[in-house]
Amino acid sequence: MQLKNLLAALEQPPTHIYGANTLPEQDTILGLAYDSRKAAPGYLFIAVPGVHTDGRRYVADAAQHGAVVALGAPLPSAIDLPIPYIEVEDVRTALADLACAFYGFPARELCTIGVTGTDGKTTTSNIISTLFDAAGRRTGMMTTANFKLNGQEWANATRQSTLEALEIQEFLRKMVEMQATHAVIESTSHGLELQRVRGCAFDVGVVTNITHEHLDFHKTLDAYRRAKARLFEMLDPEQDKGQGYRKVAILNKDDSSYEVLKPYCRVPILDYGIETDAAVRAVDLHLQASRTAFRLILPDAECQIETPLIGRFNVSNCLAAIATAYSQGIPLDVITQTLATIKGVPGRMEHIDEKQNFSVIVDYAHTADSLQKVLAILRPVTTGKLMVVFGSAGERDRQKRPVMGSVAAQMSDFFVITDEDPRDEDRESILREIAVGAEQAGKQEGSDFLCIADRREAIATAFSRAQPGDTVLLAGKGHEQSIIIGRDKLPWDDRQVAREELRSHVQ
């Protein structure tokens, strides 16, 4: 694509251009890159500001890799640049606009479904994708845990729940090329705030819940909620893709987010719930250790749902997915048959069995609310002690740490506080901040809980204390395949480590 055509797609025009007389406007831009190491001959380099560094520092490196022009925030002063430099006020908005244009606005050719919320986004996204596939709607999907396209599924090893705009638009273009009709995009508060999902032309917006999370980034709960609301602002009632896709906002009427998000919806709302008189509702819940059953009430039908997905929160996740499928005309019999055999998401309430005489569960629960919900499920099905190994990520919401300690103290019999992803924070300090909440709840370190920074040692210690009938929950990492200590992303998989330690334990 010619540079002038790319720049024409910017909602906000450039504020200044250094080296304008040497701009390669008539030349074809062969690719876009925001990582200078991925730049190549003929590329446009976007100098994105980051947490630890600034893309403007890498313009020369991008040029050495072949980039012919760069775009970024205003420069502090006139400096010698090896290639023309285009100044814009909002780099992330520009990155999304350029990505959409470069890949030919693929979202305009798909029914796009955005799923946001604090907990349950990945599970809900997977249920939605499975329901649509079962109905013959070919889906592509991007979530924290996994990607899916054309029936093929693979793990998300990027450690990004919502990819950058460039990767999202590239993946959407692949969906179009593979003749997919529907795209399911997990849309985090970061992804919404940082314009990563800009240009996705959402037809359906779905929310699971909104609780206390990511205040390190958003600063206040109101700002966090406001970021989530962006998804529903993006639902444009005037946009018509010509395929009969119904514009709809799927809101959780049981959650406090309902009243917060409602004013931002310009399209019809289809709500769901368990406790409230919602349009899509579950009643007569039967929660068992291996299966869940409930009566589903829709605006024009009722039926019995049975599913291997366990727990009350998964009933809510199912309702969100059912409401989405129902809104797009998927038959009720397809919904019931699919939910009856649906598989769980890797790293979500995943049982680890190495012939040990106690239960081991790996789950991604990394917020106080999600930890509470998982422990609430495991308590009634545990005949012995309920133990949990968990931590809290470094350089993330510090306010939730003592709350998580309090939840563990109140809902488990013994717990080990350990590393999650300490990053550049002091590991022991993170553990102490969590322990404060446990101590305030009346627990004593040494007898009721331990602080062990090394996660493998923490897991091994919990296993060494486990007796027949006990349950050990490994929380916070789930599907993830790395742990971040300092700036290093080290190989790590809770499931694999658990198997290794269990094999050693049972020998």
Q: Where are the alpha helices (DSSP H) in 30-107?
A: 59-64, 91-102
- Do 437 and 402 touch, CB atoms closer than 8 A? yes
State the Cα–Cα distance between residues 314 and 102, nearest whole angstrom: 39
Identify the residue whose tokens are 């520092």. Answer: 57
∠ at Cα 222 (232, 439), nearest 5°? 125
Closest-CA residue to 34 (of 57, 7, 11): 57
Q: Is 489 annotated as belonging to a binding site?
A: no
Start-to-end CA distance of the chain, whole Å, equals: 62
Q: Is 119 annotated as belonging to a binding site?
A: yes
State the Cα–Cα distance between residues 388 and 402, nearest whole angstrom: 15
CA 109 to mean position of chain CA atoms: 24
Token couple for 208: 């699971």
Q: Is 483 helix (H, G, I), strand (E, B) or coil?
A: strand
State the Cα–Cα distance between residues 437 and 278, nearest whole angstrom: 36
Identify the residue whose tokens are 């919502």. Answer: 162
3-state secondary structure 94-128: HHHHHHHHHCCCHHHHCEEEEEECCCCHHHHHHHH
**Beta-sheet strands, E only, within 355-451:** 359-363, 386-390, 414-417, 449-451
CA 411 to mean position of chain CA atoms: 26
Q: Is 121 annotated as belonging to a binding site?
A: yes
- Helices 91-102 and 165-177, packing angle to 10 deg: 20
CA 137 to mean position of chain CA atoms: 23
Q: Is 117 annotated as belonging to a binding site?
A: yes
Q: Is 93 annotated as belonging to a binding site?
A: no
Q: Is 392 annotated as belonging to a binding site?
A: no
Identify the residue whose tokens are 């250790």. Answer: 289
Identify the residue whose tokens are 């849309």. Answer: 187
Count of beta carbons in the 10 Å neighbourhood of residue 159: 13
In this structure, what is the dihedral angle of CA atoms 352, 358, 359, 364, given to the nearest 10 degrees?
-80
Q: Is 118 annotated as belonging to a binding site?
A: yes
Partners of 152 in the β-ladder: 149
Q: Is 120 annotated as belonging to a binding site?
A: yes
Q: Is 397 annotated as belonging to a binding site?
A: no
Identify the residue whose tokens are 């397809």. Answer: 334
Token couple for 203: 């037809």
Q: Which residues contact 177 (CB under 8 A, 6 or more apart)?
A: none
Closest-CA residue to 165 (of 206, 198, 132, 125): 198
Question: What length does the chain have?
Answer: 507
Q: Is 196 annotated as belonging to a binding site?
A: yes
Q: Is 161 annotated as belonging to a binding site?
A: yes
- Helices 400-411 and 368-378, packing angle to 10 deg: 10
Output the known binding site.
36, 117-123, 160-162, 188, 196
Output the known binding site for ATP.
117-123
